[in-house]
Amino acid sequence: MATAGSMNEDKIYRISFYNQGDIYELHAREIHQGNMYAFLEIEDIIFGERSAIVVDPAEEKLKSEFEGVKRTYIPLQAVIRIDEVEREGINKIISANGNSGKVMPFPGAPPHSLHHQD
């Protein structure tokens, strides 16, 4: 017989939120509007076991950032979307300004000094 606690273990949530100018997308087994007012509590963040050959740098960055974190609190105003999904996916960091980070503008010339003397 399944208990209420074990039924929650079957649910997986995908949470998208803003963090320091980027959009983070995490998968977790538990989310709550916790005791801290105006914060979403995220527990049991899921990181898929990938082969050593294929490594996603964004997921590795998230894995190291959340290593040892039992639960994290995200301000409600930073949350974009929460979905209950059928299975875990890849955790991602997406540039919020639309720039994928692969193509950057060429740096311009430095400004000329106003006190330039010949």
Distance CA 27, CA 74 (A): 14
Beta bridge partners of 84: 13
Of 79 and 103, more confident:
79
Distance CA 64, CA 8 (A): 26
Query: How far separated are the first and last CA of the chain, in Å rounded?
Result: 88
Instruction: Name the pLDDT band for 84 (thresholds 50, 70, 90).
Output: very high
Place of tokens 């990181």: 47
Spans of all domains in the chain: 7-95
Distance CA 65, CA 63 (A): 6
Of 54 and 58, more confident:
58
pLDDT, tens digit, 9 for 90 and up, residues 86-109: 998 889 998 877 655 554 444 555
Query: Which CATH class name applies to 7-95?
Result: mainly beta
0.75 exceeded by pTM:
no
Give percent of the chain with pLDDT exceeding 90: 39
